[in-house]
Structure 1
Amino acid sequence: MTENSPGPQEPPRQDPQDAYWRPQDTTRQEQPQQEQPAAKPDAQEVAREQAQWQPTHEVQRETPPESAGTDTPAHAWAAPQQQPQQVLFGSAVGGQQGQAGVYVPPSTTHTYPTPPPLGQASPPRRANGLVVGVAVLALIVGGGAGAIGGYLVSENNAASAPSSLDVPPPAANVSANAPDGTIEAVANKTLSSVVQLRTQSGEGSGFVIRQDGLVITNNHVIEQAVGGGTLKVVFQDGQTADATVIGRDPSSDLAVVQAKGVSGKTPVVLGRSDDLKVGQAVVAIGSPFELSGTVTSGIVSSLHRPTRAGGDNGSEATVMDAIQTDAAINPGNSGGPLVNMAGQVVGINSAIYSPNSSSRQQGGSVGIGFAIPIDQARRTADEIVKTGKATQTVLGVSVQTDQNGGARVSQVVQGGAAQAAGVAVGDVVTKLNDRRIDTSDALVAAVRSLAPGDKVTLTIGNGTKTVTATLGSQPVPN
């Protein structure tokens, strides 16, 4: 047996733990109560017994350098003292021998006695063996006695000990009205209006805006059904109906579909998104991973977050001015409503940030989800319902992100709003009204959050130039 870093040697201690390192003193063994104590041997007997314990072969053991070559009997019977290592920030501290707290491997060995070989007399161990045997017997008997005693106590106290199982369940909550402003109240008000949409390639969510089954959803939820694909709407009560696409806007990732042959459905209440506050509580409802009617809650994490959504290629045509929320949104939630605590729809859940996802493997919620503001969605949906088409708000420029921040104009459309305002190629837009523009996506999202005909003030560069433009429009191709 080898140990590291022994300290200074010391005489044998009368410690039961040191018995491993030196011969047992048979005169101090405890005797069982059933036997008479052994007579104390005289000095000659002790000397003969110690002589029988002299080692016949040696076991190598490391000792410190200062004890090299000193195999004295006193040291041979002493237990080593181990010097602990000093640990600093999880690592052993290095250093030279003699420094405090530094471990130095020993370079010499020391011998320890081994038990006598077979054929030689050994010290009496009967007392020690009996002590162990009695101890084991005591554990067995004690355990059994404890179990019996515990059983008797349990049996005696069964009638008087209190138990939750003896208490009758509380009265059932028969009230159908949850307190206003709670998640339960929002769910009760909105769930019946949320639907699941199924195509031949996947599924998503939507919400009813008219009793005859008119539904708003994301364009990317239903785009596989355009041009002859199948589309079904599954309502919260289990009714399933075929549906057709009324119109869609890929640039804002919105679509309106009509369920066939239904009536009496409950439409949602549309709120507004221009007065949302960061930290405001919201609820997301939808069908994540085909689990219809799923309710999650969170807060508005941020506002006016430029986000690309609705397409696999991440093109500029799908940039939206998103509401960011930490309410759990997963694949299948797309197109479902984001609701305030008054039960009003303030956004349409459309995208999530999922760093570990790929084109073949969808990711899950990491607490960063995005929704289209309902003010923008309402205007686009209204155009689709009334005309079958949507119009897109435009400034009349093509832009790229400038390396110093802002949106650099790379092209100006002839006859567009930007040209009429005096915007030129090479100008860097850094603000739209009071909103800071850091990237090209930020400018696109800011423009699309507004309506055609709105007037905006554009700040160029460091603010030395400002222009006022009246935003235009263009039809969105289906």
Structure 2
Amino acid sequence: MIPSNFKFMSRIIWMLMGLLVYGSVAQASPPSEKMDSVTVLITCPKASGSGFLLDQGRHVVTNWHVAVMCVNKGTLKVIHQNGQKSWVFLRGYNERKDLAILGLKTPFSGYNAPLVPSNLVQKMDDIWVNGYPGAAFEVADRNTIPEPTSTKGIISRLVTSDRQVKMFQIDAAVNPGSSGGPVFNKLGGIIGIATMKSLTLAMV
């Protein structure tokens, strides 16, 4: 059994919180190239999912249910839209929150994702979901690396689950393959991670 590593996960998340800087003027939408640059495809022979880069491209955050598919068999791979690829290993996880942190054996240098604490997120905020729905079939059929898809929506409700996990209900489309993908606010900060069809885990 692979042990969980909550201290490491907390250290990574709170270390990167210091990198978050907000401008004084709100943007209408975050730049798509910024969102795409931190979004990655997670794939293995069984299925695929999405994730986002942390710690200057040395780690990836995704859902536990995405990572657990193949991580124990050593067949889990992360692919960036620019063509970079890396095998990964499990660095830490929280099954209750459906979160996993993967270490890249070949880091994608230069990439980082700013994280937004949940107390700055409000009902009716605009959000954008990035991910790779159906990407496994696209890669297999065309031998190409697709761009992430982006869908826009709002936060329709703030939710606390029966396991006391903070979540947001969103109206943006979240399709199979998008699980683990980042959810951005209008400033390009990551407020959560797509985990179910209409629910997003709060990032902090």
Alignment of 1:25-36 (within 5 A): none
Match of 1:181 in 2: 27
Aligned to 1:344: 189
Question: Could you tell me which of 230, 233, 258 is aligned with 2:78?
Answer: 233
How far apart in 2 are the matches of 1:328 and 1:374? 19
8 A contact 1:199–1:222 mirrored in 2: no
SS of equivalent to 1:338: strand
| Counterpart contact for 1:208–1:265, Cα < 8 Å | no
Corresponding residue to 1:372 among 198, 201, 204: 201
Normalized against structure 2, the TM-score is what?
A: 0.77
Structure-1-length-normalised TM-score: 0.34
Within 5 Å, give how 1:130-141 maps onto structure 2.
none
Q: Secondary structure at the match of 2:128?
A: strand
CA shift, 1:264, in A, is 1.9
Cα deviation for residue 292 of structure 1 reads 4.3
Q: Distance in 2 between matches of 1:198 and 1:186?
A: 26
1:117-196 mapped onto 2 (5 Å cutoff): 181-183=27-29, 185-196=30-41
Identity %: 31
| Contact 2:127/2:183 (8 A) holds in 1 | yes
Query: Which residue number in structure 2 is paired with residue 269 of structure 1?
Result: 114
Per-residue CA deviation, residues 60-110 of structure 1 (Å, 9 max, x unaligned), is xxxxxxxxxxxxxxxxxxxxxxxxxxxxxxxxxxxxxxxxxxxxxxxxxxx
The answer on whether the counterparts of 2:134 and 2:177 sit within 8 Å (CA) in structure 1 is yes
Answer yes or no: is 1:198 the counterpart of 2:43: yes
Residue 262 of structure 1: CA displacement? Answer: 2.7
Please, what is the CA RMSD of the aligned residues? 2.0
The alignment of Structure 1 onto Structure 2 pairs a total of residues equal to 170
Structure having the higher Rg: 1
Question: Structure 2 counterpart of 1:297, which letter?
Answer: K
What is the rounded CA distance, in whole Å, between the counterparts of 1:253 and 1:191 in structure 2? Answer: 23
> Which structure is richer in relative contact order (CA contacts within 8 A, separation 6 or more)?
2
Task: Give the structure with the larger strand fraction.
Answer: 2
**Partner Cα distance (2:58, 2:174) in 1:** 24
Summarize the Cα distance change of 1:351–1:208 in structure 2 as closer, same or farther, 3 Å threshold.
same
2: CA distance, partners of 1:255 / 1:195: 14
1:296 and 2:142 matched: no
Residue pair 2:36, 2:147 contacting (<8 A) in 1 also: no
Task: Give the conservation status (yes or no) of the 8 Å contact 1:193–1:236.
Answer: no
State the alpha-carbon separation in 1 of the partners of residues 57 and 37 from structure 2: 14
Residue 335 of structure 1 aligns with an amino acid whose one-letter code is G
Task: Give the conservation status (yes or no) of the 8 Å contact 1:199–1:229.
Answer: no
Match of 1:86 in 2: none
| Cα deviation, residue 305, structure 1 | 4.7
